[in-house]
Amino acid sequence: MKSEAILTHVSAIFKREIKAYFGSPVAYVFIAVFLLLMGFFTFHISHFFEMGQADLRAFFEWHPWLYLFLVPAAAMRLWAEELRMGTIELVLTFPITTGEVIIGKFLAAWAFIGIALALTFPMVLTVTYLGDPDPGPIITGYIGSFLMAGAFLGVGSMTSAVTRSQVISFILAVLICLFFILAGFPPVTAMMADWAPRWLTAVVSGLGFLSHFVSMQRGVLDLRDILYFGSVICFTLFANGIILQYKRA
């Protein structure tokens, strides 16, 4: 019974949030910018067509960098807006738990980004039209990208709870996400390898989003990568709850 109640509450929040997303022009602008940049980077910077390879590596390699700005932008209003308007008190006096609200809001934002990601489907059609791609890496690439977006979103959701200013929330989220990207960015790990002991380099690169996304781009699903993104999401959402708790106290 209890889990049923949780499900009802979470889905109620989810619906309310999703509606809010698509009720505002910002969502369409967000998705349009996302798609435009994705196409631009893939075709004009990575030269997808000129490389002549029927795979989506040139496309997926831009995802972390686009998420770095777009996901915090999508997440910044999650709590900051409620804090600013004072509606947070109202929300939290509903007969539902903070956890349910957090999860509901998170899932709605995640689904929103998922929709944006799904709208990149012409890429898949293109690559299938041009050549004979291996479907495995395309599927795992999308799974990896979606999980990584979830991790970015967790961070964004957490920072959004910290402050009532959306701009500060955005900047904080970008900074934290940038750390997570750079930690696994090959040039950075190579630089670290010059002076840091091997275990430290390994630990830091293990924290990075990129090192966990890279094998999924190749077509290898690793339980560890999935668990890693799951852990980041869990941790940031939990921290989100604690921050809200302290805000109320």
Partner 1 sequence: MTTHHPPAGQAGKSFLSIGGLLLVLIILVLVNVIASRVNARWDVTEGKLYSLSDGTREILSNLSYDTAIKVFYTRDETHTPVHIKTYARRLMDFLSEYERHGEGKLTIEHYDPEPDSEAEDQAAAYGISGIDLPTGERLYFGLAAVAADQEAVIPMIDPTREEQLEYDITRIIARVQSAEKPTIGIISALPVFGMPMMGMPQEGGPEPWMFVTELRKNHEVREISPGADSIDESVDLLMLIHPKGLSPALQYAVDQYLLRGGNLMVFADPFSVSEPPRSPSKASDGLAALFKAWGVEMDLGKAVVDFDFATRLRGQDNQVETNPFWLSMDADALNRDNIITAQLESLLLPAAGAVLKAPDSPYTFETLVRSSPNAAMSDTMMLQLGAEDLRRDFKAAGTPFDLAVQITGTFKSAFPEGPPRDPESGTDKPGSDEPRNTGNGHLEEGQGPAVVVLVGDADLLFDNYYVSHQNFLGFKISRMFNDNLNFVLNSGEMLIGSQALIGIRSRGTFERPFTRVEALEKAAQARWLVREQELMRRIDDTNRKLEQLEQQKEAAQQLILSEAQEAEIRAFQEERRRINKELKTVRRNLRADIERLGNTVKFINTFLMVFVVAAAGMIYGLRQRLKSRR
Phi, psi of 80 (to 5 degrees): -55, -40
Closest CB to partner 1 among residues 143, 165: 143
User: In the stretch 63-92, what mask flags binding to partner 1 with x, by CB under 8 A?
Assistant: -----------------------------x
Closest CB to partner 1 among residues 34, 110: 34
From 22, 85, 87, 197, residue interacting with partner 1 (rule: CB under 8 A):
22
| Residue 50 interacts with partner 1 (CB under 8 A): yes or no | yes
Is residue 42 packed enough to be buried (19+ CB in 10 Å), middle (13-18) or exposed (0-12)? buried
Burial of 234-247, coded b for 16+ CB within 10 Å and e otherwise, reads eebbebbbebbeee
| Residue 192 interacts with partner 1 (CB under 8 A): yes or no | no
- CA–CA gap between residue 184 and residue 191 (Å, rounded): 11
State the residue for tokens 């390879």: 53
| Residue 8 interacts with partner 1 (CB under 8 A): yes or no | no
> What is the maximum alpha-carbon separation in the chain?
59
From 7, 136, 167, 175, residue interacting with partner 1 (rule: CB under 8 A):
136
Give, in order, the Cα–Cα distances in Å from 192 to each of 13, 77, 197: 44, 36, 9
| Residue 239 interacts with partner 1 (CB under 8 A): yes or no | yes
- CA–CA gap between residue 91 and residue 88 (Å, rounded): 5
Considering only 34-42, 63-71, 74-82, 160-168, which stretch makes contact with partner 1 by CB under 8 A?
A: 34-42
Give the residues lining the site for partner 1 (CB under 8 A): 5, 22-23, 25, 27-29, 31-32, 35-36, 39-40, 42-44, 49-55, 57, 92-99, 101, 119-120, 122-123, 126, 129-134, 136-137, 139-140, 190, 214-215, 218-224, 227-228, 231, 234-235, 238-239, 241-242, 244-245, 248
